[in-house]
Structure 1
Amino acid sequence: MELSVYLAGEIHSSWREDIKQLVNEANLSITCYGPMENHDRSDHIGEEILGEQPTAILKDEAASSINNLRTQILLEKSDVVIALFGESYKQWNTAMDASTAIAKGKPLILIRPETLHHALKELSNKAQVVVETPEQAVAALSYIFEEE
């Protein structure tokens, strides 16, 4: 068996690499997908494809359409979604991706610190699993592969 996992969350820290390393160390047959982690490329992809835009808002709209295309395809392709909420960044895209996973019936593993329990209580209630660390998320995935 092989699983595809979409890693939703901020793109400013190394948490995705941590997950991938843990998956490799556990020798799990998992392919990970996620948003474009090169922030400049993500911000400029609309103009790269559609041409220069006349305003900053239209530049954002153009980039959003291309980034949303990527997210929709890769999230749809995934068997499981892991959404990480941390303390440092605004998490609107993470909330959107987690909600999309729920709406599509994709199993959701939510990683969030205890301090965000109240803020994320409704989303947590809809997730299949809520954990506080990437290690716990990978342990939950590892359990899927156990035969006994």
Structure 2
Amino acid sequence: MTLTVYLAGEIHSPWREYFKKQANEHNLPLIFTGPMEDHDRSDQIGEEILGEQPNKVLKDETASSINNLRTQILLSKSDVVIAYFGEKYKQWNSAMDAATAITLNKPVILIRDEKLHHPLKELANKAQLVVETPEQALQALTYVFE
């Protein structure tokens, strides 16, 4: 059995690379997908496909539509979603990805420090598992294969 894991969460730290490396070291049969991590590409994709937009709002709207299409497709094809929330950045996209996964009936593992309990309590309540570290999320996935 191979699982497709969508790695939602903040894009400004190397947590995804670390998680993938650890999964590889544990020989877990996982395929990883996730949001566009190239911030400039994500911001420019609307104009790249639909042409120059007349203002910044429309530029954001066109990019958002295309990014949402990509995210919806990849989330729908995933077996499990891991949503990582760090302390440094506001992570509205992470929350949106986790909420979308929940509406698609995808299992969600929420990674967040205890300090973020209150702002993420509703998402945490809907997730299948809430952990504080990527290592704990990896242990949970390892257990799935036992």
TM-score by length of 2: 0.98
Same amino acid, percent of matched pairs: 74
| Distance (whole Å) between structure 1 residues aligned to residue 40 and residue 127 of structure 2 | 31
1:31-85 CA distance string (max 9 Å, x none)? 0100110110010011111110000000000100111111001000000000011
SS in 1 for 2:94: helix
The structural deviation recorded for 1:121 is: 1.2
| Distance (whole Å) between structure 2 residues aligned to residue 128 and residue 137 of structure 1 | 11
SS in 2 for 1:73: helix
| Distance (whole Å) between structure 2 residues aligned to residue 90 and residue 119 of structure 1 | 11
**2:117 equivalent in structure 1:** 117
The structural deviation recorded for 1:130 is: 0.5
| Distance (whole Å) between structure 1 residues aligned to residue 64 and residue 120 of structure 2 | 24
| Distance (whole Å) between structure 2 residues aligned to residue 21 and residue 93 of structure 1 | 24
**1:144 equivalent in structure 2:** 144
The letter of the residue matching 2:73 is: I
SS in 1 for 2:82: strand
The structural deviation recorded for 1:98 is: 0.6
RMSD: 0.7
SS in 1 for 2:37: coil
SS in 1 for 2:83: strand
Structure 2: gaps spanning 5 or more residues: none
| Distance (whole Å) between structure 2 residues aligned to residue 83 and residue 128 of structure 1 | 12
Structure 1: gaps spanning 5 or more residues: none
**2:80 equivalent in structure 1:** 80
**2:63 equivalent in structure 1:** 63
Question: How does 1:40-59 map onto structure 2 within 5 Å?
Answer: 40-59=40-59
Q: Would you say how many aligned residue pairs link Structure 1 and Structure 2? A: 146
| Distance (whole Å) between structure 1 residues aligned to residue 123 and residue 38 of structure 2 | 27
TM-score by length of 1: 0.97
Q: Which runs of 4+ in 1 moved over 3 A?
A: none
**1:91 equivalent in structure 2:** 91
